[in-house]
């Protein structure tokens, strides 16, 4: 069976195609037979489509004339030219979408129906840069691949069981009733990593206390107990919690009141500042990319040093909070671009937690670890670096749903 994955973002469109058998789902991930990415940041109303398949890589310039234009051109590479991997679109059995916000209505992957589409649209105010893109992608697939089932895999779903004492904000209760609460994000990645820990350690997930650190341009931590998310750092939006590439993370809310009163900031200006001009970018004035920050630190740049020190401090701070929620820790997990590739971030983070018996092995940490334990042999807490594979996690959910709906 052919499973198409669509990961629609605010400025990009990532997709891949998996080829699986109907009666067997591999325990470990497999490579997609086709991958494509549209980057819309290149120029106004134009993007670059990059496609990899059959051992070749092709770039195309595409124009954005209407919502399904980019997806249509992207999907045509599945059936045309050197990147052709299927005869026609009818070979595709099911399509899976990563959807950032599903609210509290969806705790698992869900077959997309008109009601599901309406729910995604209704949640646009809570995810204004992502949910509109998801709706457009779903509508485009409906036009291009008629009658092919589509599945929504929600980033918020894994966090649906967080207890109310963690999910609710200490503001008047009426706002909780109106949906202002902590939802959590990166759930697909956190869930995948938790399951991967169970495989690597050969221990049942229900016996483990985990903290998963998804550290990329966006960052979040999740405390996982018995396979269930019980606390996480992102909240009502993906802005809460850790310091990130361009996002501030948690700050004193009175700062916003002060900026409005003293400097006449508008809601849009505050949103831009907190989401696009803060974090590494805002503090350093150099870049949102950790690699550039570290290079500047090595060159003696004091603002880059401050940005790095703040990042590590806040990471440790929130790790302590997750540790308190769990009441103990069996395994600490690092994943995503920074978590998987930055030995110095892992080293500096772990330094603060020797008091709980957590001890990093420097040689293992510096040896580009992937899906392996980098803790010292006498560490009482295991430390794993896991390559997160959200697309594969979505494909697994699609495989399960397709086999359910195909049963006689």
Q: Which residues have a catalytic role annotated? A: 155
CA dist 195 and 35 (Å) reads: 24
Beta strand pairing call for 382-385 and 372-373: antiparallel
DSSP 375: B
Q: Which uninterrupted H or E stretch holds 246? A: none
What's the chain's length in residues?
408
CA dist 343 and 362 (Å) reads: 9
Tell me how crowded residue 257 is: count the other CB atoms within 10 A of its CB: 11
In the block, which residue shows the tokens 């026609």? 88
Of 179, 154, 155, 159, give the one whose Cα is nearest residue 169. 179
Which residues sit opposite 57 in a β-bridge? Answer: 52
Of 180, 161, 162, give the one whose Cα is nearest residue 170. 180
CB neighbour burial string for 307-323, b if at least 16 within 10 angstroms, e if fewer: bbebbbebbeebbeebb
DSSP 89: G
Of 111, 31, 161, 17, give the one whose Cα is nearest residue 398. 111
Cα–Cα–Cα angle for 105, 192, 203, rounded to 5 degrees: 120
CA dist 52 and 264 (Å) reads: 48
CA dist 383 and 361 (Å) reads: 9
């Amino acid at each position: 069976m052919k499973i198409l994955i669509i990961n629609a973002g605010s400025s990009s469109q990532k997709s891949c195609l998996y080829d699986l058998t109907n009666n067997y789902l591999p325990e470990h991930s497999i490579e997609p037979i086709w991958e494509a990415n549209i980057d819309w940041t290149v120029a106004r109303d134009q993007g670059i489509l990059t496609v990899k398949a059959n051992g070749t890589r092709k770039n195309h310039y595409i124009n954005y004339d209407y919502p399904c234009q980019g997806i249509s051109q992207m999907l045509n590479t599945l059936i045309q030219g050197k990147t052709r991997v299927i005869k026609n679109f009818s070979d595709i059995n099911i399509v899976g979408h990563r959807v950032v916000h599903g609210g509290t209505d969806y705790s698992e992957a869900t077959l997309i129906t008109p009601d599901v589409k309406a729910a995604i649209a209704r949640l646009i105010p809570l995810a204004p840069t992502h949910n509109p893109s998801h709706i457009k992608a779903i509508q485009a697939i409906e036009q291009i691949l008629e009658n092919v089932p589509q599945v929504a895999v929600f980033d918020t779903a894994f966090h649906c069981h967080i207890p109310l004492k963690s999910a609710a904000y200490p503001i008047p209760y009426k706002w909780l009733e109106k949906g202002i609460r902590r939802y959590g994000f990166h759930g697909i990645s956190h869930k995948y990593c938790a399951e991967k820990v169970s495989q690597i350690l050969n221990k049942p997930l229900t016996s483990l206390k985990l903290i998963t650190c998804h550290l990329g341009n966006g960052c979040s931590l999740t405390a996982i107990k018995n396979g269930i998310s019980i606390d996480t750092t992102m909240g009502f939006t993906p802005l809460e919690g850790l310091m990130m590439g361009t996002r501030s993370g948690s700050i004193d809310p009175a700062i916003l009141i002060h900026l409005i009163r003293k400097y006449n900031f508008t809601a849009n200006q505050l949103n831009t500042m907190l989401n696009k001009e803060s974090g590494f970018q805002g503090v350093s004035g150099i870049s949102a990319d950790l690699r550039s920050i570290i290079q500047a630190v090595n060159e003696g740049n004091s603002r880059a040093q401050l940005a790095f020190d703040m990042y590590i401090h806040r990471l440790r701070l929130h790790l302590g909070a997750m540790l308190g929620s769990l009441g103990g820790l069996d395994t600490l997990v690092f994943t995503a671009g920074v978590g998987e590739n930055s030995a110095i971030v892992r080293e500096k983070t772990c330094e603060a937690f020797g008091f709980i018996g957590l001890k990093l092995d420097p040689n293992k940490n510096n040896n580009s670890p992937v899906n392996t334990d980098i803790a010292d042999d006498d560490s009482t807490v295991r430390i794993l670096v896991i390559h997160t594979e959200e697309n594969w996690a979505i494909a697994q959910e699609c495989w399960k749903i397709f086999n359910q709906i195909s049963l006689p």
